[in-house]
């Protein structure tokens, strides 16, 4: 299992527990990169858990943004799940304070939504970077993302 933590251990935090690939037999980009994930949201007096599948490439896009935030301190790092179930934005103010804003939805489109925000400081970013690196090491991206010229509207062209 891989775990990605954003926040403090004793107070407000988001924890993403990756339990394995959603389609372990798949070796193509679209099916092979889903990860079975438990999303734990603990903010203020709210506690919740959502079971979902997030994509490896979503974590892969998030990592360089978190690295930039750690280096520059005045930057934004965003994680956006393809299905809309989870959105996170980390905003640095340039002096070491990080505002975490997010939304978790139990059923995108018509379910319940939890909007939240809390603050951290830059000292939590190295652990987040390690967590993301460990996750991507354990679950590397499978296959190659097809180029737009390989198909339109979700269908593949014959080559």
Model-wide pTM > 0.85: yes
Q: Minimal CA–CA distance to 86: which of 47, 53, 120?
A: 53
For the chain, which ranges sit under pLDDT 70? 9, 150-159
pLDDT score for 122: 95
pLDDT at res. 52: 92
What's the confidence (pLDDT) of residue 16?
98
Torsions phi, psi of 91, nearest 5? -120, 120
CATH for 2-141 is 2.30.31
* Domain extents in the chain: 2-141
């Amino acid at each position: 299992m891989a775990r990605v933590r954003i926040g403090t251990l004793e107070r407000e935090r988001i924890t993403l527990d990756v339990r394995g690939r959603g389609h372990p037999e798949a070796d193509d980009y679209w099916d092979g990169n889903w990860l079975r994930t438990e999303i734990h949201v603990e903010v203020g007096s709210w506690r919740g858990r959502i079971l979902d599948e997030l994509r490896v490439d979503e974590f892969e896009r998030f990592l360089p943004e978190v690295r930039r935030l750690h280096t520059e301190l005045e930057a934004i790092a965003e994680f956006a799940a393809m299905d809309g179930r989870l959105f996170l934005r980390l905003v640095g103010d340039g002096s070491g304070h990080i505002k975490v804003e997010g939304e978790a939805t139990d059923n995108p489109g018509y379910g319940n939504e939890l909007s939240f925000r809390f603050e951290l400081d830059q000292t939590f970013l190295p652990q987040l970077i390690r967590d993301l690196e460990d996750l991507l090491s354990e679950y590397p991206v499978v296959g190659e993302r097809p180029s737009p010229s390989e198909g339109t509207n979700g269908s593949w062209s014959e080559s």
